[in-house]
């Protein structure tokens, strides 16, 4: 352990070899391309931590009759070209049989065609954009797209009696608009009547006109798709204008941030948001993961670490079932994954996307903090 930390520090985030290659000559080579430096480094560092925590457990027993997995994490710095070079290096130099990552969807759109052509199975743990797995038959992902998360939140609201909903979204931002599209589709599918659709700008601070109009229509719920800052502003003004707890507030992916409580405080109480994972999920697997993560890294895991943790187990199990460190066989084995981890039960669809949204947790704001919605 000490030796590994020394190595990590010495290489200062450029190229990080999890296990020295000479220590295990027969190790199975797995590569990962993640953002370890730059503004989005928090995601890649969390993912790397999750992968390595899982790897510790896997290598304790070993796979394929005692062989260990050697994980090499290359830094993409969030740059598409650097991500492609990293993937080429992992395939050519390290002879990686599987690649995990890259971190961002737009990096996957660059790296995926390269690894797919080399027939190396590539598994994204945090790529949520539409069309990722359509790159080719070797591209998988374990992260739920937003289109799978929002319907679960809407079902929860419907179970609480939502028959009508007003939708609000920021119309100058692609992320917010695509979240709105999913909300609209969910409402239509569940037979919930949309009584109003109101827009605003991501940088707006005044939402009183839209909210006054919505208040007069008396909807059962208001669903908002935007980044957390404008959502907080909408929620604060809704309370000022007298929209009370009788109206269910629903947030999209952008609202799944502790900042909602920091900015809006108690005004956000009662708002529900779907999340692929939550730290306080009570099941044993998750609680064990959280405790082990805290013990190893001395901080709380986030969603990205949790997704990566599961992914490492999914990949290791596929190599085990493949019976050899052979990319073609591993690809076939991955497709038959049946796993249950910290994110809940997991399998791939025939399109190599996550098959079920059963692991989605609906969170509810209470006293400025998220908890699991009852």
Q: Which residues of the chain form contacts with another protein (CB under 8 A)? A: 171, 198-201, 203, 205-206, 208-210, 212-213, 215-216, 229, 232-233, 236, 239-242, 259, 263, 265, 267
Least Å distance between CB 209 and another protein?
Answer: 4
CB of 204 to another protein, least distance (A): 8
* Shortest Å, Cβ 74 to another protein: 29
Residues pairing with 371 in the sheet: 364
* Least CB distance to another protein at residue 175 (A): 17
| C-beta of 149 vs 267, nearer to another protein | 267
Nearer to another protein, 39 or 66 (CB): 39
Residue holding tokens 């065609």?
113
Shortest Cβ 106–another protein spacing (Å): 22
Structure tokens at 290: 């959280």
Residue (195 or 263) nearer to another protein, CB? 263
For another protein, the closer of residues 200 and 309 by Cβ is: 200
Return the number of the residue (39 or 191) whose C-beta is nearest another protein: 39
Angle at 152 between CA 282 and CA 219, to 5 degrees: 120
Task: Report cis status (omega within 30 of 0) of the bond before 365.
Answer: no
Task: Enter the tokens of residue 23.
Answer: 């220590």
Of 34 and 198, which CB lies nearer to another protein in the complex structure?
A: 198
Please give the Cα distance from 231 to 168 (Å, whole number): 9
Across 267-300, b (16+ Cβ under 10 Å) vs e yields: bbbbbbbbbbbbbebeeeebeebbebbeeebeee
Structure tokens at 154: 């809407």
The number of residues in the chain equals 374
Which tokens is 113 given?
């065609």
Shortest distance, position 368 Cβ to another protein, whole Å: 10
């Amino acid at each position: 352990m000490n030796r590994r930390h020394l190595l990590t520090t010495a290489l200062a985030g450029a190229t990080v070899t999890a296990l020295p290659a000479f220590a295990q000559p027969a190790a199975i080579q797995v590569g990962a391309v993640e953002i370890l430096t730059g503004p989005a480094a928090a995601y890649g560092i969390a993912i790397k931590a999750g992968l390595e925590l899982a790897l510790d457990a896997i290598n304790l027993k070993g796979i394929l009759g005692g062989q260990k997995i050697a994980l090499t994490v290359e830094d993409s710095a969030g740059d598409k070209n650097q991500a492609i070079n990293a993937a080429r290096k992992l395939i050519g130099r390290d002879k990686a049989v599987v690649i995990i990552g890259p971190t961002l969807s737009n990096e996957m759109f660059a790296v995926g065609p390269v690894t797919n052509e080399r027939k190396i199975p590539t598994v994204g743990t945090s790529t949520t954009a539409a069309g990722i797995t359509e790159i080719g038959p070797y591209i998988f992902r374990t992260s739920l797209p937003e289109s799978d998360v929002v319907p679960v939140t809407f079902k929860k609201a419907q179970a609480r009696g939502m028959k009508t909903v007003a939708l609000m979204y920021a119309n100058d931002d692609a992320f917010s608009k695509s979240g709105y599209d999913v909300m609209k589709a969910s409402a239509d599918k569940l037979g919930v009547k949309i009584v109003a659709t109101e827009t605003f700008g991501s940088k707006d601070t005044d939402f009183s006109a839209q909210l006054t109009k919505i208040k007069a229509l008396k909807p059962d719920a208001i669903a908002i798709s935007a980044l957390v800052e404008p959502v907080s502003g909408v929620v604060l003004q809704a309370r000022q204008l007298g929209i009370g707890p009788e109206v269910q507030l629903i947030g999209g992916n952008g609202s799944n941030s502790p900042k909602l409580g920091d900015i809006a405080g108690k005004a956000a109480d009662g708002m529900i948001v779907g999340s692929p994972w939550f730290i306080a999920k009570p099941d044993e697997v998750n609680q064990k993961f959280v405790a082990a993560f805290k013990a190893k890294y001395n901080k709380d895991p986030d969603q990205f670490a949790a997704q990566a943790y599961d992914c490492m187990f999914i990949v290791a199990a596929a190599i085990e079932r493949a019976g050899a460190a052979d990319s073609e066989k591993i690809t076939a084995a991955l497709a038959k994954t049946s796993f249950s981890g910290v994110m809940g039960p997991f399998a791939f669809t025939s399109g190599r996307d996550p098959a079920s949204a059963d692991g989605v947790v609906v969170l509810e704001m209470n006293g400025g903090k998220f908890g699991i919605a009852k």
